[in-house]
Structure 1
Amino acid sequence: MPEETEGRAGVTRVEAYSDAVIAIVVTIMVLEMHAPEEPGWGHLLHLWPIFTAYALSFAYVSIYWVNHHRLFHHATRVTNGLLWSNIALIFTLSLIPFGTAYLGEQIFSRDATLVYMGIMLLPSVAYMWLQRTVRRTGSQSEESQAYHRLALRKGAAASIVYASGIALTFVSPALGLACAALVALFWCLPASALDHLFER
C-alpha cells in the first residue's frame, strides 16, 4: 500500500504540534527553578548553578526551535518518515528538562555533565535524521538544496563536538560544557562567520 502523504496544510499541523511541545519543554524547565524559602541575596545567589543550567538549556531549545522553523519552510508534504523523525526529535528535546535540573542540582559535577552532554547529543542526531527526510521529500529547489548542504554539515560538526565534549568531561566537566557552548556558536545566528567553515 503506498505511503499516504499530505501537503503544506499537514506540514503546518506537524510544525504547530512541535511548537506546542517545545513550549511545554521550556515551561517545565522554568518550573524546576524554585525560589529560596529564606530571604536574602545570599540564598538567591546560591541558586546560580540552577539558573545557569536553565539559561544554557533555554538557549539550546530556542536554537532548535529557530532551526526547526527554518527547516519546515522547505517541507512540502507529510510522510511517515517526516512524522517519525520529527517525533524522535521531540522526544529527545523532552529529556532536556531532566538533564538541566540534574546539572544544576549537582552543581556541574562530572556525572551530571556526562548525562547533560549525552542528552544534548541525542537531539543533534535526531535533527539530522529529520533534515535528511525533509531534504529527500521536500522542496528540491536550488535554494533548498543549498540550505540543506550547509545545515547538514553544521549538524554533523555539532554532533562531533558534542561527542568530543562527552570524552573531555572525563578530564574536566568545564571542558565538556565548553564544547556545548561551542555548538551554540554554530547555530546562534542565522548566518555568521562560522558558516564559511562549512562552505565548499
Structure 2
Amino acid sequence: MKTGRLEAFSDGVLAIVITIMVLELKAPEEPSLEGILHILPILISYVLSFIYVGIYWNNHHHLMQVTEKVNGGILWANLHLLFWLSLIPFATSWINEHQLTAVPIALYGVVLLMSSVAYRILEISLLRFHDDNHPLKTIVKMGVKENLSTVIYLVAIPLAFVNVWISIAGFVIVAIMWVIPDRKLEKAMMK
C-alpha cells in the first residue's frame, strides 16, 4: 500500500499533540512582565516539547518522502511511534505542575528515549520491507547522532534524581542536534 494514509494520519495525530500542549498553556494572571516571568518555566517546557514534536514531524515527513510502500508491520511501527509522541503533552504537563522535580523530568526523558527507540523501529521496519537497491538502504543508518542521543537520554534520566538541570541540558542538547534534518534524506528526496 502507498504511504499517503500513513502520512495523513501521522500529521493529524501530531497536530493534535501540539494542540493539546498549547491548550495546557494558561495566560499569566497579571498583565505584567512579572506575570510572564512567573510562567516562564511553563513556556520553556512548551517550547522544548514543541521543538521535539517538530523534529519528529519533520524527520518523519522526510522519511516518508523516500518511502514507496508500507505494510501492516510498518503501520504498527508508526503507531508505536505516535503512541510515545502522544505522551509528550502528558509529560510536559506533569513537569509544569511540579516544576523542576526529579520524577516528572525523568519521565519526560523516558518518553523522549522511547520516542527515539520507536522511530528507529519504524526505520528498521521500512528497511526490511524495501529491497536492497532502495535509497532507504543507503540513507537510514545508525549514526553518531542516533547513538549519542541514546547515550544522552540514558545518562540524563537517572541524573534527574541528582540534578534536574543536567537532565534538562541533555534534552536540549539532543534537540539542538536534531533540529536540522538529515541531509542524506533531503538529497534523496530531490532525486
Q: After TM superposition, is the score higher than 0.5?
A: yes
Matches within 5 A, 1:85-100: 85-100=77-92
Q: TM-score scaled by structure 1? A: 0.84
Of 141, 153, 168, which aligns to 1:162?
153
Of 92, 106, 122, which aligns to 1:114?
106
Secondary structure of the corresponding residue to residue 156 of structure 2:
helix
Of 19, 35, 52, which aligns to 1:60?
52
2:132 counterpart of 1:123: no
Per the TM alignment, residue 71 of structure 1 is displaced from its structure 2 partner at its CA by: 1.2
Conservation of the 8 A alpha-carbon contact between 1:168 and 1:176? yes
2:22 counterpart of 1:30: yes
CA distances 1:68-114 after superposition (whole Å, capped 9, x unpaired): 01111232222111010000000110000011111122222212211
Measure the CA separation in 2 of the matches of 1:85 and 1:142.
20
Secondary structure of the corresponding residue to residue 41 of structure 2:
helix
Per the TM alignment, residue 52 of structure 1 is displaced from its structure 2 partner at its CA by: 0.3
Per the TM alignment, residue 40 of structure 1 is displaced from its structure 2 partner at its CA by: 2.6
RMSD of the alignment, in Å? 1.8
Q: TM-score scaled by structure 2? A: 0.88
Measure the CA separation in 1 of the matches of 2:35 and 2:102.
24
Alignment correspondent of 2:188: none
Conservation of the 8 A alpha-carbon contact between 1:89 and 1:127? yes
Alignment size in residue pairs: 183
Measure the CA separation in 2 of the matches of 1:115 and 1:188.
22
For CA contacts below 8 A with separation 6 or more, give which structure has more relative contact order.
2
Give the aligned residue type for 2:107: V
Moved over 6 A (4+): none
Of 164, 175, 183, which aligns to 2:174?
183
Of 59, 65, 73, which aligns to 1:81?
73
Gaps of 5+ in 2: 184-191
Measure the CA separation in 2 of the matches of 1:66 and 1:40.
35
Conservation of the 8 A alpha-carbon contact between 2:80 and 2:118? yes
